[in-house]
């Protein structure tokens, strides 16, 4: 077993953006999450909560509300615009100005295909949802204050609007005797004409929608109640980070009189909860602590199964770090800029577990700000470090880097081929002579890189006629000998192209779970894929079939503890000195799979590194199995190998992220 020098990188100051709104589509089992920087992410709840798609944000797009209408996704924001998103090309399809000032809330009625927008100027604007666009219909009467929250009655005949200090139901009038200016952050209109409101005084109030009278008040927190979601039950999210559940139950068992009773409280967040959604079995919450939490409701799932476990999704399910293998450079992707760093150096030698002295500190070479308003979608660095590229929804930019002794110069390539107008994924070939960019309909554009110019070569297209080639490509990998290119899309398809002949070689048999990481072995040219349900496959490109090892793995089945991990593998790399090694990582662990060792069966101890160390060396081989898992480094954003037998491990401890979040509420506890 080889020894590695590990570059432990903690200078990637990655800060995720807080969650502002979310909407669950129960028909497709997708959750759409809007972040504070305007990015919209789609999670597939049926495929192990995999973050399928990410639409990058934009400077002025401050999303306040998200809504699904069938398969279409709409958002409204503080820039006064209503946006429909193109989920196949990962960009906004179009925007419509509401002309009412900032839009605070959005509510859709799927029966009558109408959409309501609550605006800053006090109007509730109605839009009709047509096939290719939405069209303004009319305004409701203008109110005195801004409309912060809206809710449709399920029948579509009434709307409840929460404003500053009162709730108003259109078609009838109601008011609440509030002494100070209370903000009604959210309302929910139930089918029995009950209106439930959450306000800044920390109360969840139940109103009779017909008479406008208050039925019951629940004071659940000292701070604000920011979000409500009602479906199977009612949940309220607060500034404290708690989510309180209410259920419509009779106070005494057996009696008929039902009322809204506070049942459970979950404290899964450290900061304010701004958005809530219901799925059939769980409550999903998100807020200022940037983590998405899925809390299964134990009355709907079986206890002690994987379904009933609490899930926290903190890191993105794609790589934000690009490592240039040959030159020891790292490229960090932020939403609004890129950073290029050179790794530090160390001469020392030591035993496993030692910390080596650093001779030369890592240094930041370039801080590149993106141009325009759009956020960066994807970035790439060539292995030699001479080329840098990034894409946004509207453009692709390519830069040439030159290193002279201690200085570095960067030059933008002014004219790019017109085919290279927008891409979702970028990849450089290992000799830095070609750039591959994924484009519409899962096609890949090949561009040749000259000394200071680039020329369009070819477009690689998958076979048309497949149902899901409309889905965007989210993974792209070029083999080290530049013979093969693998492209995976969110429709679970993986296409292999032969780069010498510049045509499609084959399509890997579609597996039901989406691939989360793909890589081609430099020596054996086998494609290794890991999927959202933690399955691993190895496919031989030459023979166009699964390898012997892969079949053995499938037959034996993966260990339970491996399958129960709740974060996906986001990067696969290989060991230049040992071709039997596959290096994988997720957020909490780094694993080296040794294909020459036997596979563990269900009863074997999976995390056996500690016990192996205690066994004398001659005995170790007998007890080893293929999965060597190391949990020394946390929390992992990227693990990659360099040419000189070194590992680069980019960590971003969650504690560091938490210390830079906005202020949480002050909770006075005894003896503190």
Partner 1 sequence: MAKDQRGKTTTSPSKKTDTEKQTEDTTMVFESSDDEAPEEVTFDASRTEALRSMKQALDTARREKELLKEKRRKRQELFQEQKKIKLLSDDVLEEMDSASSKKQKQSEAAEEQRQDEGENGKKKKKKSRKMEHSRNLKGNYRVATVKVVGALASSQQQAAEDFIQSRLYGAGSCRTTNNELLSLQNKTGRNKGAAVQFVKKDWACKQKAKAEKLKKRWIHKQHIPSC
Give the nearer residue to partner 1 in terms of CB position, either 408 or 606: 408
Give the nearer residue to partner 1 in terms of CB position, either 191 or 659: 659
Sketch the per residue contact string, 311 through 350, with partner 1: x for CB under 8 A, - otherwise.
----------------------------------------
DSSP codes, 580-613: EEEEEE-SS-EEEEETTSPPP-TTS-SS-HHHHH
Return the sign of the alpha-carbon dihedral for residues 13, 17, 18, 23. negative
CB of 356 to partner 1, least distance (A): 18
The values of phi and psi at residue 324, to 5°, are -90, 110
Give the nearer residue to partner 1 in terms of CB position, either 222 or 461: 222
Under rule CB under 8 A, residue 101 binds partner 1 = yes
Under rule CB under 8 A, residue 17 binds partner 1 = no
Q: Which stretch binds partner 1 (CB under 8 A): 218-226, 291-299, 305-313, 604-612?
A: 218-226
Q: 23-37 burial string, b = 16+ CB within 10 Å, else e?
A: bbbeeeebbbbbbbb
Interacting residues with partner 1 between 462 and 491 (CB under 8 A): none
Interacting residues with partner 1 between 173 and 212 (CB under 8 A): 183, 200
Under rule CB under 8 A, residue 665 binds partner 1 = yes
Q: 400-420 burial string, b = 16+ CB within 10 Å, else e?
A: bbeeeeeeeeeeebeebeebb
DSSP class of residue 554 equals H
Distances (CA, A) of 644 to 7, 33, 648: 12, 41, 11
Interacting residues with partner 1 between 38 and 57 (CB under 8 A): none
Under rule CB under 8 A, residue 15 binds partner 1 = no
From 534, 17, 34, 661, select the one nearest 314 (Cα to Cα): 17
Q: Given phi > 0 = left and psi -120 to 50 = alpha, else beta, which region is 421?
A: alpha
Q: Which stretch binds partner 1 (CB under 8 A): 9-17, 149-157, 632-640, 654-662?
A: 654-662
The values of phi and psi at residue 561, to 5°, are -65, -30
Under rule CB under 8 A, residue 358 binds partner 1 = no
Under rule CB under 8 A, residue 561 binds partner 1 = no
CB of 146 to partner 1, least distance (A): 8
> Which tokens sit at 182?
């209370």
Sketch the per residue contact string, 392 through 431, with partner 1: x for CB under 8 A, - otherwise.
-------x-------xxxx-x-------------------
From 304, 261, 268, select the one nearest 283 (Cα to Cα): 268
Q: Which long-range contacts (CB under 8 A, 24 or more apart) does 217-223 make?
A: 218/246, 218/260, 218/262, 220/244, 220/262, 220/265, 222/665, 223/665
Under rule CB under 8 A, residue 362 binds partner 1 = no
Under rule CB under 8 A, residue 646 binds partner 1 = no
Among 115, 365, 517, 637, binds partner 1 (CB under 8 A): 365
DSSP class of residue 357 equals P
Among 86, 120, 419, 431, binds partner 1 (CB under 8 A): 120
Residues that bind partner 1 (CB under 8 A): 60, 62, 78-80, 101-102, 104, 120, 146, 183, 200, 222-224, 239, 270, 272, 364-369, 371, 399, 407-410, 412, 655, 658-667, 669, 672
């Amino acid at each position: 077993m080889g020894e590695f020098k590990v570059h432990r990188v903690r200078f990637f100051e990655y800060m995720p953006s807080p969650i502002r709104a979310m909407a669950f589509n129960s028909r497709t089992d997708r959750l759409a999450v809007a972040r504070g920087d305007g990015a919209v992410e789609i999670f597939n709840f049926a495929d192990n909560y995999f973050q399928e798609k990410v639409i990058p944000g934009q400077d002025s797009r401050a999303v306040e509300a998200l809504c699904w209408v069938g398969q279409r996704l709409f958002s409204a924001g503080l820039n006064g615009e209503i946006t429909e998103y193109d989920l196949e090309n990962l960009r906004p399809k179009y925007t419509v100005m509401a002309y009412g000032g900032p839009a605070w809330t959005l509510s859709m009625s799927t029966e009558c295909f109408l959409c309501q927008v609550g605006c800053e100027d006090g109007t509730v604007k109605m839009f009709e949802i047509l096939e290719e666009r939405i069209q303004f219909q009319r305004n409701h009467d203008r109110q005195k204050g801004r409309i912060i929250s809206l809710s449709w009655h399920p029948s579509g005949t009434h709307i409840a609007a929460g404003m500053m200090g009162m709730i108003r139901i259109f078609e009838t009038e109601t008011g609440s005797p509030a002494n100070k200016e209370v903000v009604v952050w959210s309302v929910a209109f139930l089918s029995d004409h009950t209106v439930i409101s959450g306000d800044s005084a920390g109360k969840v109030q139940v109103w009779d929608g017909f008479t406008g009278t208050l039925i019951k008040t629940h004071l659940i927190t000292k701070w604000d109640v920011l979000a409500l979601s009602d479906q199977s039950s009612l949940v309220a999210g607060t500034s404290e980070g708690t989510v309180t559940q209410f259920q419509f139950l009779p106070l005494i068992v057996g009696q008929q009189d039902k009322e809204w009773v506070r049942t459970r409280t979950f404290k899964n967040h450290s900061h304010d909860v701004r958005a809530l959604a219901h799925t059939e079995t769980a409550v999903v919450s998100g807020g200022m602590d940037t983590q998405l939490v899925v809390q299964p409701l134990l009355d709907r799932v079986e206890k002690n199964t994987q379904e009933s476990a609490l899930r926290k999704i903190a890191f993105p399910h794609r790589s934000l770090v690009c490592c240039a293998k040959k030159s020891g450079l790292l490229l960090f992707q932020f939403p609004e800029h890129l950073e290029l760093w050179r790794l530090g150096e160390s001469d020392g030698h030591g035993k496993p577990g030692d910390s080596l002295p650093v001779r030369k500190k890592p240094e930041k070479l370039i801080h590149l700000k993106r141009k325009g308003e759009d956020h960066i979608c994807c970035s790439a660095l060539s292995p030699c470090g001479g080329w840098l590229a990034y894409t946004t929804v509207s453009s692709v930019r390519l830069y040439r880097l030159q290193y002279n002794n201690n200085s570095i110069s960067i030059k933008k390539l002014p004219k790019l081929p017109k085919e290279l107008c927008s891409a979702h994924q970028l990849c450089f070939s290992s000799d830095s002579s070609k750039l591959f960019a994924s484009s519409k309909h899962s096609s890949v554009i090949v561009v040749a890189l000259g000394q200071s110019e680039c020329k369009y070569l070819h477009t690689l297209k998958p076979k048309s006629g497949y149902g899901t080639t409309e889905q965007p490509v989210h993974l792209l990998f070029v083999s080290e000998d530049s013979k093969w290119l693998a492209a995976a899309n969110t429709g679970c398809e993986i296409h292999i192209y032969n780069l010498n002949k510049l045509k499609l070689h084959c399509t890997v048999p579609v597996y039901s779970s989406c691939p989360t990481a793909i890589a081609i072995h430099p020596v054996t040219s086998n494609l290794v894929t890991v999927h959202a349900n933690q399955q691993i496959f190895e496919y031989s490109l030459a023979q166009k079939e699964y390898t012997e090892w892969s079949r053995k793995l499938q037959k034996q089945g993966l260990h339970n503890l491996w399958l129960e991990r709740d974060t996906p593998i986001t990067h696969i790399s290989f060991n230049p000195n040992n071709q039997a090694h596959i290096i994988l990582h997720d957020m909490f662990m780094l694993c080296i799979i040794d294909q020459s060792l036997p596979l563990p069966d269900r009863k074997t101890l999976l995390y056996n590194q500690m016990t192996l160390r205690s066994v004398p060396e001659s005995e170790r081989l007998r007890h080893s199995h293929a999965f060597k898992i190391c949990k020394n480094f946390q929390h992992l954003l990227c693990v990659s190998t360099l040419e000189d037998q070194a590992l680069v491990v980019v960590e971003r401890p969650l504690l560091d992220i938490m210390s830079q979040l906005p202020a949480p509420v002050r909770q006075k506890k005894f003896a503190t």
